[in-house]
A = this chain, B = another copy of it.
Amino acid sequence: MPKSSNATEIREVMKNEGLRITPQRFAVYANLLRREDHPTVEQILEDVNADIPIASKASVYSALTILREVNLVREVLLDEGVTRYDANVNPHHHFVCSDCGAIHDLAWETFNCFDLSQLSDGLQAESYEVTVKGLCQSCQ
């Protein structure tokens, strides 16, 4: 479900992380909060500049970089050569439609039966993430 954040709340969150609030950063973060489709930089750029041009590509990159550093957004790397972004930083997994490419979040609890203490070769696990591929509802 999309987080219902108003402008004031968003500003508050950013301020709490010590971020200087510029129109560009605000637009990028607000945009990511309002959508669930794990957009690419290009998509964020288009969306943010839809009405009036507000941010350059370089600024979107820089906004995303700093938002990632303070852990307000995270990267999602799936099967292409493009980085996608997600304002949902809670642990969760991903479903990718092998037909249309749409990405859906899967609740963390979907896969919680692992015993990570049992890995081979003395590997010490810290976290894990599951990517499921298949067909989304509209592509079946």
Which residues of A line the B interface, CB within 8 A? 77-79, 81, 83, 95, 98, 104, 106-107, 110-111, 113-114, 116, 118-137, 140
User: Which residues of B are found within 8 Å of A123, using beta-carbon distances?
Assistant: 95, 104, 132, 134-137
User: Which residues of B are found within 8 Å of A124, using beta-carbon distances?
Assistant: 134-136, 140
**In the complex with contacts A83-B81, A119-B95, A129-B131 CB distance below 8 A:** yes
- Bound complex: CA A132 to CA B125 (Å): 6
- Bound complex: CA A83 to CA B110 (Å): 28
Is B137 touching A128 in the complex (CB atoms < 8 A)?
A: no
Is B98 touching A126 in the complex (CB atoms < 8 A)?
A: yes
- Bound complex: CA A29 to CA B84 (Å): 31
- Our pick among B110, B111, B126 for the contact of A135 (Cβ within 8 Å) is B126
- Our pick among B126, B132, B134 for the contact of A134 (Cβ within 8 Å) is B126
8 contacts between A and B (CB under 8 A): A95-B119, A95-B125, A106-B120, A124-B135, A125-B133, A126-B135, A127-B134, A131-B131
- Bound complex: CA A56 to CA B79 (Å): 26
- Bound complex: CA A88 to CA B124 (Å): 23
Is B134 touching A106 in the complex (CB atoms < 8 A)?
A: no
Which B residue's beta carbon lies closest to that of A97? Answer: B123
- Bound complex: CA A79 to CA B127 (Å): 13
**In the complex with contacts A81-B83, A114-B111, A126-B98, A104-B132 CB distance below 8 A:** no
